[in-house]
Amino acid sequence: MEKRVILLVEDEALIRLATTALLEDAGYSVIEAGNADVAIRILESRSDIGAVFTDIIMPGSVDGLRLSHAIRDRWPPVHLLVTSGLSVPIENFPRKARFLRKPYTPVQVLKALSDLFGFDPEPYQYRNNVTQNYGRVAYR
Amino acid sequence: MAPQTTPDAVGLNLALALVTSSAAPLLLLDSDLNIIAASGSFCSAFQINIAQTKGLPLADMGAGEWKVAQLASLLKATAAGYAAIDGYEMDLVREGRPVRRLVLNAQKLQYAEGAEIRIALSVSDVTDARIAAKLKDDLLRDKEVLLQELHHRVANSLQIIASVLLQSARKVQSEEIRTHLHDAHHRVMSVAALQQQLAVSKLGNVELRPYFKALCASIGASMIRDHNQISLDVTSDDSVTTADTSVSLGLIVTELVINALKHAFPGDRSGRILVDYRSRGPNWTLSVGDDGMGMPEDPRSAKAGLGTSIVQALAMQLGGQITVADANPGTKVSVVHTYVPILAGQSAAGSAV
């Protein structure tokens, strides 16, 4: 099966780096954007984005919440996962968007995405019933 | 002119003197809205010549700024006995002067059967009070915004630190180092869980039960594969503590839970880990117990790792005593804080047996 493509919209470079790594380890293909304007351009230029995972507060003219509404309008089938350090009232979100408080753990992100895509997450690799790993790939 | 000493004259003069001397701006009007008397305070507040007020129609006062249709109709209705004016607000607009915001109250005076209609109109200038109130609202709103920004910044910073740790864990070859980095990640997330509790609490105090539950949910989600096999539960009371105390308690819980998960249930052994906290007055006890493997036979074979140092350091900081008990089966580690009141010659807090 082809890899599902996630568009990651996050302005903090280190968070973007680690989140990209964790998504790729879990078998997704990741496209990165540093702000909403870049994200929109990417969405306009390709049609294989399965989900957008976006921060809310970012530099640029459009924040992540407005971005998510714009995406729901223009590209309805794209799944939406929105994150922030603040809580956001639920009525501010577009339909069927999921919200994750920062800081989020890898498990939370992967669970939210697998819920959105509608599949059971891949079982993790274990040792002694206590997981030492995140994601599908055992750390070597 | 003969001195006016008749009872009527004295009564009238007293009433006029009362009006004139009123500290609050006050006008006495007749049924045609002519001024019978004006207080000195009214005249100085609104730059009216007191000598020219007697008999003057309200609408002609000053440069006509009191000629307000709605005010006139309200006063007429008051004179007719239909209503009183209660907190009517209007702007006083005068050329060359800043607009003042006024609150007016008026009522028809009941003083003698069949007597002339008299209206008492009092005027409060609330301009400055309103500006102060708006400024206070603006400042409160700014403070809220700044606080939100701060919470956001802290959450982002913690996410960055957590990300760096996970990235490092991905890169190292050594299993042991990777474990240390994952443990460090859990500790950071324990502080992060506290941040989230603080962000929603109004007073900067933390409810321990939801905090511990969030903490354990996070640890359990990433370390327990089968929640039917190993369960991690919180049975704390309704205690609320300060942020500082909560951070330390949370870090202790993180250490003890991770320890239990790593050592209490080898192989496919199933069991339960219980996090409990209860307090009474200044005394409290935190415990993390499991029904697993129990302590090793030789206590010296249990290496004191970083986790142990962390628990010891934090327990000391909190003024608590650590006790490790055999739970048959399993182990229970408790941190007990007993407050010892200061008596002459004795030292205060913490370590009673």
Distance CA B159, CA A84 (A): 10
Domain layout of chain B by residue ranges = 13-125, 131-337
DSSP code per residue over B274-337 = EEEEEEETTEEEEEEEESSS---SSGGGS---HHHHHHHHHHHHTT-EEEEEE-SSSEEEEEEE
Contact list in A for residue B225 (CB cut-off 8 A) is 123-124, 126, 129-131
DSSP code for B41? H
Count other Cβ atoms within 10 Å, centred on residue B110.
Answer: 9
Domain count of the fold of chain A? 1
Q: Could you identify the residue written with the tokens 């049975």? A: B235
Is the Cβ pair A85, B189 closer than 8 Å? Answer: no
DSSP code for A76? T
Mutate to test the interface with A, among B151, B165, B170, B173 (most CBs of A within 10 A): B170
pLDDT range class, residue B3, cuts 50, 70, 90: low
**What local confidence, expressed as pLDDT, does residue A57 receive?**
82
Please report whether residue A32 resides in a domain.
Answer: yes
Structure confidence by residue, pLDDT tens digits, B233-277: 999 999 999 988 999 999 999 999 999 998 888 888 889 999 999
pLDDT at B22 over 80: yes
Please report whether residue A37 resides in a domain.
Answer: yes
Distance CA A81, CA A4 (A): 15
Please report whether residue A139 resides in a domain.
Answer: no
Please report whether residue A93 resides in a domain.
Answer: yes
**What local confidence, expressed as pLDDT, does residue A137 receive?**
26
By Cβ distance, the residue of A12, A21, A107 closest to B170 is A21
Helix (H) or strand (E) holding B257: helix B243-263
Q: What is the CATH number of the domain that holds A63?
A: 3.40.50.2300
DSSP code per residue over A83-117 = EESS---GGGSPTT-EEEESSPPHHHHHHHHHHHH
CATH number of B13-125: 3.30.450.20
Please report whether residue A102 resides in a domain.
Answer: yes
Domain that holds residue A105: 5-131
Please report whether residue A136 resides in a domain.
Answer: no
Distance CA A101, CA A82 (A): 9
Q: 3.30.565.10, 3.40.50.300, 3.30.365.10, 3.10.310.30: which CATH number matches B131-337?
A: 3.30.565.10
Question: Range with the lowest mean pLDDT among A99-103, B77-81, B126-130, B318-322?
Answer: A99-103
Nearest 5°: the CA angle A115, A116, A120 is 35
Please report whether residue A140 resides in a domain.
Answer: no
pTM score, whole prediction? 0.66
Q: What percent of chain B has pLDDT over 70?
A: 92
The total number of residues shown for chain B amounts to 353
Contact list in B for residue A88 (CB cut-off 8 A) is none
* 8 Å CB contact between B254 and B300: no
Contact list in A for residue B200 (CB cut-off 8 A) is 87
